[in-house]
């Protein structure tokens, strides 16, 4: 069906909205990345199979919706029964029948499946009352968990594509650019460049054609906001891109998606096909004379392709090697033509800005960082998952109020933001309001929004070494400082974690870091030493413990630790013996086990499998 | 015309020119191992990095590769600021760790007072500094027979599939332009071997010396519309033949005159 | 080794014959054959009119491509930051030990390939292991045997 006019669109939206409220009950099964990893696919198929047989009187099979990420991934798989918003956690296939019998058929709430607040152990029946959600403000993630990720009708029922209709019929391209400028929206990919200014530059560029690219190459390890949006609410990204294309005068767009996100590719392609069927993409969109189409470009698995010039080379089918950007890519981008490149979350914000006006968006957040920001809150925190808060929310509010504090009540040590380009912030920075500028000033950066909380059992030397190894693996190898400098930094970090380094080695690392920063060609190298520099800035003592005392305070660096069996706690269950790959543990069933220090390779498997905490690290 | 300040002196430059060419014209010496006039600037070795600023930048400075940075009015350029010299020294030190046995790199390092690298030497490394000149010149020649392979620290230059490259014509443009002379080739009798591929060298019908490979001649013949016959003589013999012809013409003219 | 190349023209035919299609074509070949056979690289170069050197360069640059046959069961261990601090290395050691291969290798009987991948975006369920496209979250050291069987009860 083709939508011929904005009026036709409004009629459809109303019809689909009526269909939604017509369902007496709806089953929203979270199929986000986290819930899928804990078995959501089995839940979906079981619900479908059972409900097909059961023929419940006031339940339509169409009301089973596979939604995007609800956010509270730790508690998955999640099943929400709408319209009441009854929120079931950790649902297993065996619970499916009970949910149908009790909740769908008899309106009874199953208390053991409800969420419990971590501190009070209070059972919470409804979605909206859970602290984790109550303290968030969702714009980019507005539809996640609320609509089917496969069905454009759900998006339309929520008023989807009305921003596009408004832009096409009541606004000029210049007005759109100025609305986005007024909103103060800055690029959510990490650099925080003002979106309105980027669009204006592209719009005014004389060379033709202009291109619009959506960067879905979410390479920062520990970040998955963009994945969740692309999978769970693909139309909001498309709508943002189409509005952008109209504003900057482009007829062809690309979405560059990571190879590691096959579901995102699948859902986006489905969304593109559906939008094209409805005449929301392609020729003469909504009956106007504006035409725009979108192709998906699958990445090949290279972190450096998140860098704009490398990404554009990759879209063109080449190796993703960055070039010097002394002429900006907005003027000389894809195929050397003017190109707007924004990331997924940035585009997802656009329809809201057009609908509600830039000023209203700018009221949220901070003066120089407006609006909200989505984060993936992960690591050693209780409520891991996807969140969105106004800019300026403090790290403490995010980690303790929304995240529920540190896992197992261990002490907070640091929070890592900005991925391999960012840094680690210690407890003294917890009251920092989070925005683009404050994080950079504190030695970290916003990045795309990964927020990894670490406790006292994480070694910062090991963490810095991890990021250096990551970047070494992902560097394209074109320029000397990045390729050779990161290699040498990694060697030196390894020397420290092996207990073989001296203090001059640490000085050498700091000096080399500064050279890599000023000397490298692209952002990967220019920010590569940040994880090291920020940890040495805030945790110098821990580095010195490795160097002077040959000691790893967190008990992580293998060369500096030993594992021992605590005789009083060991019940001789044999679990550690079978876990030990090097056969360093001996003992009979029921007798205290012993670790041969000569054979032990300090992998920690015994420690991980011991349920009685009978193995200690020193 | 563009006016900028280079090491304290006001100099002129053409619109669209890059800093490196101005720097060289002014007789200032800075290294640039990945740079070659015949190919597009690459910006990989980073040795030609300079410090730039402008009055209105209020003390903020940037570091850019001069081989790629276009000249601008009122730009203040320093080719030997303390930070730039330290960077250049560090880069050469890193290259020395990569290629500890390369005479060319060792010599460059000595100019910066480095005799042994302060970093860990690359285990069993070759002398390739990955400047990319060989692959870019090969592309420019129109053959694109070799390329960089892999990425990061493991990046290297190789023919496709590590087999004799099908598109190579044995022209030696890669080997002769390599700043560290790391691409081996052997000419023996009328055969040449490079990148493990064997070529027939043509023999000059005039003097019997070997000239270019038959494949290279064929490719030049096709792309430049030159008859293959032309390549059957070496340059010297062509020149000799031409001068003999000229002598003959002059002598005919003299005979005709009286 | 000889491979059935009859499916190649169909794969190459899905995309416009231009250098721009190179990565997409290689991805489809990789998906179909589970690696990139040499002959396929040569065919692709010819069909898309791209120098073979560039095809080789692209196929060795990106992680998605493998020039060697992979096992029937591809086990990918996520080593993103969150998985790293939650013990992905331990899982890796266990699987390497059980299969007697290192990450990035394939068992001689072509049954298993072990790979590490830099973050698959399921960080909330760290550590994550993916077996032939199926995600397993909150993996424990003791789960390694089950992972090799390709079944792990969800939590």
Collect all residues of chain C within an 8 Å Cβ-Cβ radius of residue A220: 119
Q: Distance from C53 to chain B by nearest Cα, in Å?
A: 5
Structure tokens at C71: 């096992």
Q: Which residues contact B78 (CB under 8 A, 6 or more apart)?
A: B7, B50, B51, B52, B84
pLDDT score of B256 more than 90:
no
Q: Tokens 């002129």 sit at which residue? A: B12
Per the CB < 8 A criterion, the answer to whether B63 and B78 are in contact is no
Interchain contact C56–A (C-beta under 8 A): no
Q: Which residues contact B251 (CB under 8 A, 6 or more apart)?
A: none
Q: Which of A228, A262, A300 to mutate to test the interface with C (most CBs of C within 10 A)?
A: A300
Closest CA to C115 of C73, C152, C82, C143: C73
Angle subtended at Cα B185 by Cα B180 and Cα B191, rounded to the nearest 5 degrees: 160
Residues 462-521 of A with CB under 8 A from C: 463, 466-467, 470, 473-474, 476
What average pLDDT score do residues B49-58 get? 96
* Closest alpha carbon within chain A to B96: A484
Angle subtended at Cα A415 by Cα A409 and Cα A420, rounded to the nearest 5 degrees: 140
What average pLDDT score do residues B140-167 get? 95
Rg from Cα positions in chain C? 17
Contacts B–C by Cβ distance under 8 A:
38
Give the number of other Cβ atoms within 10 Å of residue B252's Cβ.
Answer: 10
For position C155, what pLDDT does the model report?
34
Structure tokens at A133: 């959600």
Would you call C53 and B147 a contact, using CB atoms and an 8 Å cutoff?
yes
Widest CA span in chain A: 82
Q: How far apart are CA A170 and CA C112, in angstroms?
A: 58
Would you call C122 and A608 a contact, using CB atoms and an 8 Å cutoff?
no
Structure tokens at B149: 């392979």
pLDDT-wise least confident of A390-394, B22-26, C145-149? C145-149
pLDDT score of A581 more than 90:
no
Closest CA to A560 of A543, A548, A546: A546
**Residue in B135, B146, B149 closest to C60 by CB:** B149
pLDDT score of A173 more than 90:
yes
What average pLDDT score do residues A501-511 get? 97
* Closest alpha carbon within chain B to C68: B161
**Residue in C19, C62, C136 closest to A37 by CB:** C136
Closest CA to A100 of A76, A81, A72: A81
B147-149 and B49-53 beta bridge pairing: unpaired
For position C145, what pLDDT does the model report?
82
Interchain contact A336–C (C-beta under 8 A): no
Q: Tokens 């819930």 sit at which residue? A: A35
Cis peptide before A209 (omega within 30 of 0): yes
Per the CB < 8 A criterion, the answer to whether A45 and A101 are in contact is no
C73-78 and C112-117 beta bridge pairing: parallel
Q: How far apart are CA A436 and CA A236, in angstroms?
A: 24
Instruction: HSE, CB side, 13 Å, CA atoms: give it for residue A538.
Output: 22
Entry field: residues in chain C: 155
Q: How far apart are CA A33 and CA A44, in angstroms?
A: 14
* Closest alpha carbon within chain B to C52: B160
Q: Which residues contact A162 (CB under 8 A, 6 or more apart)?
A: A9, A10, A13, A355
**Residue in C41, C52, C57 closest to B148 by CB:** C57
Q: Which of A299, A479, A524 to mutate to test the interface with B (most CBs of B within 10 A)?
A: A479
- The strand pairing partners of A257, in sequence order, are A216, A298
Instruction: HSE, CB side, 13 Å, CA atoms: give it for residue B87.
Output: 28
Structure tokens at C23: 């990565």
Res. B224 pLDDT band, cuts 50 70 90: confident
For position A191, what pLDDT does the model report?
82
Interchain contact A608–C (C-beta under 8 A): yes
For position C144, what pLDDT does the model report?
83
Percent of chain A with pLDDT over 90: 84
Res. C3 pLDDT band, cuts 50 70 90: low
Q: How far apart are CA B72 and CA C96, in angstroms?
A: 57
pLDDT score of A25 more than 70:
yes
Rg from Cα positions in chain B? 24
Beta strands in A217-249 (DSSP E): none
Closest CA to B80 of B36, B105, B48: B48
Closest CA to A88 of A112, A55, A61, A54: A112
Res. B258 pLDDT band, cuts 50 70 90: low
Would you call C56 and B149 a contact, using CB atoms and an 8 Å cutoff?
yes
Collect all residues of chain C within an 8 Å Cβ-Cβ radius of residue A222: 80-82, 119, 123
DSSP string, C99-136: HT--TT-B-TTSSEEEEEES--S-GGG-S-EEETTEEE
Does residue A65 sit in helix, strand or coil?
A: strand
Q: How far apart are CA A191 and CA B61, in angstroms?
A: 19
Interchain contact C1–A (C-beta under 8 A): no
Widest CA span in chain C: 51
* Closest alpha carbon within chain B to A509: B119
Q: Which of B160, B167, B168 to mutate to test the interface with C (most CBs of C within 10 A)?
A: B160
Would you call A33 and C85 a contact, using CB atoms and an 8 Å cutoff?
no
C78-109 residues labelled b (16+ CB within 10 A) or e (exposed): bbbbbbbbbbbbbbbbbbbbebebebebbeee
For residue A116, the 8-state DSSP code is E
Collect all residues of chain A within an 8 Å Cβ-Cβ radius of residue B94: 480-481, 484-485, 488
Q: Distance from C37 to chain B by nearest Cα, in Å?
A: 11
What average pLDDT score do residues A145-156 get? 96
Would you call B43 and A488 a contact, using CB atoms and an 8 Å cutoff?
no
Q: Which residues contact A402 (CB under 8 A, 6 or more apart)?
A: A131, A132, A135, A136, A377, A383, A387, A389
What average pLDDT score do residues A167-176 get? 97
pLDDT score of C2 more than 60:
no
Would you call B151 and A508 a contact, using CB atoms and an 8 Å cutoff?
no
Structure tokens at A179: 């609305």
For residue B242, the 8-state DSSP code is H
Would you call A519 and B129 a contact, using CB atoms and an 8 Å cutoff?
no
What average pLDDT score do residues C50-60 get? 97
Q: Distance from B129 to chain C by nearest Cα, in Å?
A: 18
Collect all residues of chain A within an 8 Å Cβ-Cβ radius of residue B87: 481, 515, 518-519
**What phi-psi label fits residue A248: left (phi over 0), alpha (psi between -120 and 50 degrees) or beta?**
alpha
pLDDT score of A179 more than 90:
yes
Q: Which residues contact A313 (CB under 8 A, 6 or more apart)?
A: A319, A320, A321, A322, A323
What average pLDDT score do residues B8-27 get? 96
Residues 117-146 of C with CB under 8 A from A: 117-126, 128, 133, 135-138, 140-142
For position A37, what pLDDT does the model report?
86
Q: Distance from C5 to chain A by nearest Cα, in Å?
A: 23
Q: Does the complex come out with an ipTM higher than 0.90? A: yes
pLDDT score of B51 more than 90:
yes
A339-343 and A210-216 beta bridge pairing: parallel
For position C154, what pLDDT does the model report?
37
Structure tokens at A390: 């106004």
Q: Which of B19, B92, B151 to mutate to test the interface with A (most CBs of A within 10 A)?
A: B151
**What phi-psi label fits residue A412: left (phi over 0), alpha (psi between -120 and 50 degrees) or beta?**
beta
Q: Is the pTM of this model over 0.90?
A: yes
Instruction: HSE, CB side, 13 Å, CA atoms: give it for residue B195.
Output: 27
pLDDT digits (tens, 9 = 90+) for A66-116: 999 998 988 989 999 999 999 999 999 999 999 999 999 999 999 999 998
pLDDT digits (tens, 9 = 90+) for A308-360: 999 999 999 999 999 988 888 999 999 999 999 999 999 999 999 999 999 99
Q: How far apart are CA A435 and CA A419, in angstroms?
A: 15
Using CB atoms within 10 Å of the CB of residue A334, give its burial: 0 to 12 exposed, 13 to 18 middle, 19+ buried. buried
For residue A381, the 8-state DSSP code is B
For position B178, what pLDDT does the model report?
96
Instruction: HSE, CB side, 13 Å, CA atoms: give it for residue C152.
Output: 25
What average pLDDT score do residues A258-272 get? 94
Considering only CB atoms, which residues of chain B are within 8 Å of chain C?
135, 143-151, 158-161, 165-167
For position A448, what pLDDT does the model report?
86
pLDDT score of C108 more than 70:
yes
For residue B190, the 8-state DSSP code is T
Res. C153 pLDDT band, cuts 50 70 90: very low
A339-343 and A412-417 beta bridge pairing: unpaired
Q: What is the mean pLDDT of chain C?
A: 89
For position C152, what pLDDT does the model report?
54
């Amino acid at each position: 069906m083709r939508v011929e006019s904005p009026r036709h669109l409004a009629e459809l939206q109303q019809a689909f909205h009526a269909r939604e409220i017509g369902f007496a009950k709806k089953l929203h099964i979270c199929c986000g990345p986290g819930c899928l990893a804990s078995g959501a696919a089995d839940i979906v198929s079981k619900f479908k199979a059972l409900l097909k047989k059961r023929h419940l009187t006031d339940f339509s099979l169409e009301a089973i919706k596979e939604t995007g990420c609800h956010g509270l991934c730790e508690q998955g798989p999640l099943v929400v029964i709408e319209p009441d918003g009854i929120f079931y956690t950790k649902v297993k296939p065996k619970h499916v029948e009970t949910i149908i019998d009790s909740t769908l058929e008899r309106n009874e709430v199953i208390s053991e499946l409800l969420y419990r607040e971590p501190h009070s152990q209070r059972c919470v029946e409804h979605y909206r009352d859970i602290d984790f959600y109550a303290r968030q403000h969702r714009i980019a993630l507005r539809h996640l968990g609320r609509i089917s990720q496969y069905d454009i009708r759900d998006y339309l029922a929520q008023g989807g594509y009305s921003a596009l209709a408004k832009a096409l019929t009541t606004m000029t391209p210049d007005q759109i650019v100025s609305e986005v400028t007024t909103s103060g929206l800055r690029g959510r990919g990490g650099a925080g460049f003002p979106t309105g200014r980027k669009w204006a530059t592209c719009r005014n560029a004389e060379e033709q054609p202009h291109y619009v690219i959506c960067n879905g190459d979410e390479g920062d390890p520990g970040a998955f906001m963009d994945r969740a949006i692309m999978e769970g609410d693909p139309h909001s990204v498309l709508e943002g891109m189409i509005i952008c294309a109209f504003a900057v005068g482009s007829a062809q767009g690309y979405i560059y998606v990571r190879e590691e996100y096959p579901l995102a590719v699948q859902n986006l392609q489905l969304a593109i096909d559906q939008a094209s069927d409805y005449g929301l993409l392609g020729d003469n969109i909504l009956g106007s004379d504006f035409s725009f189409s979108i192709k998906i470009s699958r990445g090949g698995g290279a972190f450096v392709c998140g860098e704009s010039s490398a990404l554009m080379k990759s879209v063109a089918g080449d190796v993703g090697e960055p070039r010097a950007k002394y002429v900006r890519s907005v003027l000389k981008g894809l195929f050397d033509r003017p190109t707007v490149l924004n990331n997924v979350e940035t585009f997802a914000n656009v329809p809201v800005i057009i609908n509600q006006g830039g000023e209203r968006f700018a009221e949220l957040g901070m003066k120089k960082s407006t609006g909200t920001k989505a984060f993936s809150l992960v690591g050693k925190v209780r409520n891991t998952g996807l969140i969105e808060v106004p800019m300026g929310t403090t790290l403490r509010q995010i980690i303790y109020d929304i995240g529920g504090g540190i896992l197992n009540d261990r002490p907070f040590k640091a929070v890592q933001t900005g991925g391999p380009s960012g840094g680690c912030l210690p407890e003294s920075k917890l009251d920092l309001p989070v925005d683009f500028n404050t994080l950079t000033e504190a030695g970290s950066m916003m990045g795309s929004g990964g927020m990894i909380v670490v406790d006292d059992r994480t070694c910062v030397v090991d963490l810095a070494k991890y990021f250096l190894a990551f970047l070494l693996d992902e560097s394209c190898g074109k320029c000397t400082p990045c390729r050779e400098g990161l290699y040498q930094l990694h060697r030196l970090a390894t020397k420290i974690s092996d207990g073989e380094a001296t203090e001059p080695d640490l000085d050498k690392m700091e000096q080399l870091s500064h050279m890599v920063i000023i000397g490298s060609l692209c952002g990967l190298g220019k920010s590569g030493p940040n994880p090291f520099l920020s940890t040495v800035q805030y945790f110098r003592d821990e580095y010195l413990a490795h160097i002077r005392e040959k000691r790893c305070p967190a008990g992580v660096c293998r060369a500096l630790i030993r594992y021992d069996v605590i005789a009083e706690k060991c019940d001789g269950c044999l679990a550690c013996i079978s876990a030990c790959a090097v056969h360093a543990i001996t003992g009979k069933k029921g007798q205290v086990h012993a670790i041969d220090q000569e054979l032990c390779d300090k992998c920690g498997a015994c420690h991980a499998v011991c349920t009685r905490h009978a193995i200690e690290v020193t | 015309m563009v006016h900028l300040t280079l090491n304290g002196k006001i100099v002129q430059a053409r619109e669209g020119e890059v800093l490196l060419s101005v720097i060289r014209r002014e007789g200032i010496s800075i290294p640039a191992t990945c740079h070659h006039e015949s190919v597009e600037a690459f910006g990989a070795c980073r040795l030609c990095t300079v410090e730039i600023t402008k009055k209105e930048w209020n003390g903020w400075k940037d570091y850019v590769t001069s081989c790629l940075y276009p000249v601008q009015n009122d730009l203040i350029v320093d080719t030997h600021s303390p930070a730039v010299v330290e960077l250049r020294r560090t880069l050469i030190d890193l290259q020395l760790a990569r290629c500890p046995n390369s005479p060319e790199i060792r010599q460059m390092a000595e100019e910066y007072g480095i005799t042994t690298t302060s970093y860990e030497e690359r285990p069993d490394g070759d002398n390739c500094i990955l400047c990319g000149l060989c692959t870019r010149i090969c592309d420019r020649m129109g053959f694109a027979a070799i390329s960089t392979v892999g990425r990061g620290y493991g990046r290297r230059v190789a023919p496709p599939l590590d087999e004799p490259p099908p598109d190579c014509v044995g022209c030696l443009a890669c080997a002769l332009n390599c700043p560290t002379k790391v691409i081996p080739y052997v000419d023996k009798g009328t055969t040449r071997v490079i990148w493990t591929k064997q070529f027939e060298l043509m023999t000059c019908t005039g003097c019997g010396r070997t000239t270019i490979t038959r494949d290279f001649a064929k490719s030049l013949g096709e792309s430049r519309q030159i008859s293959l016959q032309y390549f059957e003589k070496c340059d010297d013999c062509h020149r000799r033949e031409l001068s003999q012809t000229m002598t003959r013409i002059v002598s005919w003219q003299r005979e005709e005159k009286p | 080794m000889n491979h059935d190349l009859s499916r190649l023209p169909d794969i190459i035919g899905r995309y416009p014959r231009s250098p721009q299609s190179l990565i997409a074509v290689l991805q489809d070949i990789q998906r179909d054959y589970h690696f990139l056979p040499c002959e396929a690289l040569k065919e692709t170069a010819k069909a898309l009119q791209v120098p073979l050197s560039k095809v080789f360069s692209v196929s060795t640059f990106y992680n998605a491509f493998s020039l060697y046959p992979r096992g029937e069961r591809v086990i990918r261990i996520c080593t993103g930051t969150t998985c790293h601090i939650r013990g992905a290395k331990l899982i890796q050691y266990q699987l390497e030990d059980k299969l007697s291969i290192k990450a990035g290798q394939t068992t001689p009987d072509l049954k298993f390939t072990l790979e590490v991948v830099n973050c698959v975006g399921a960080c909330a369920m760290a550590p994550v292991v993916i077996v032939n496209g199926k995600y397993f979250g909150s993996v424990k050291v003791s789960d390694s045997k089950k992972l090799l069987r390709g079944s792990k009860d969800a939590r």
